[in-house]
Amino acid sequence: VGQNFVTLKEVDSTNNFLKNIVSNSKPVPEGTVIMAESQYAGRGQQHNGWHAEPGKNLTFSLLLNPAFLPVVNQYDLNRAVSLGVFNALQPLLGPALKIKWPNDIYYGDKKLGGILIENIIQGSQLKHSIAGIGINVNQFHFPGHLPNAVSVKQILHRDYDLKVLLSEICSHIEACYLKLKAGQYLWLRDEYTKNLYWLNETRNFKSNNTVFAAVIKEVKPNGLLALQKQQEEVTFNLKEIEFLI
C-alpha–C-alpha distance, residues 151 and 199, integer Å: 23
By beta carbon distance, the residue nearest ligand BTN is 114
Residue 66 vs 102, nearer CB to ligand BTN: 102
Q: Which stretch binds ligand BTN (CB under 6 A): 2-10, 131-139, 178-186, 224-232?
A: 131-139
Residue 39 vs 139, nearer CB to ligand BTN: 39
Q: Are 58 and 162 in contact (CB under 8 A)?
A: yes
Among 19, 31, 33, 59, binds ligand BTN (CB under 6 A): 59
Q: Which stretch binds ligand BTN (CB under 6 A): 108-116, 141-149, 181-189, 213-221?
A: 108-116
Burial-class residue 22 by CB neighbours within 10 Å (0-12, 13-18, 19+). middle
Residue 69 vs 116, nearer CB to ligand BTN: 116
Residue 62 vs 155, nearer CB to ligand BTN: 62
Among 42, 66, 84, 102, binds ligand BTN (CB under 6 A): 42
Q: Are 76 and 185 in contact (CB under 8 A)?
A: yes
Residue 123 vs 143, nearer CB to ligand BTN: 143
**Min CB(229)–ligand BTN separation in Å:** 26
44 binds ligand BTN (CB under 6 A): yes
Interface positions with ligand BTN (CB under 6 A): 13-15, 39, 42-45, 48, 50, 59-61, 104, 114-116, 132-134
